[in-house]
Amino acid sequence: MDAQPITIKKNGKWYYGQVEMFRRNIINVLASNIQKTGEGEYQIVLGNDVSPVMVEDVPFLASGYCEEDNGLIKLVFFDLQEFVIDRELKVFFKGDIPYVSFKWDADTRLSRGVYWKLSQYFEFRGDEIFIVPPVASRLH
């Protein structure tokens, strides 16, 4: 039996061949081990095993949002990884779709709900938008 390709769809869902992967703990392990190999090219490296990953848009989707008592903002990804925003962070746009940088430039798409939650922390600088969390503004 041939190994099936792993695909990350635009909506953040993972597929093994044509079958949706639904075990988030397994997806989390795979996502935590993604490496970028070129422009738009990715692979998962686990020990000596290397598997290419087809990515329709970007490898990460921020689908959840949590504001901590200490002023930190935490994004929760579809794959259950967490990204703490403790400094200002540039928002990139491809058309009207917002992205931020987690591991690489503009590698994380923001869901519509997360984008609107974050909008209270937007700082506009000319044509650019930055997320400035409360903790970052206290440090300056």
| Residue spans per domain, the chain | 6-55, 60-139
- Asked if pLDDT for residue 138 goes beyond 60, the answer is no
Is the pTM value of this prediction over 0.85? yes
Determine the Cα–Cα distance for residues 47 and 110; give it in Å rounded to an integer: 30
pLDDT, average across residues 106-131 = 97
Residues 6+ apart with CB under 8 A from 17: 4, 5
**What does CATH list as the number for 6-55?**
3.10.540.10
Nearest to 117 by CA among 58, 64, 61: 64
Highest mean pLDDT of the ranges 2-6, 64-68, 106-110? 106-110
Residue for token pair 């041939």: 2
Residues 6+ apart with CB under 8 A from 85: 72, 73, 74, 75, 131, 133, 136
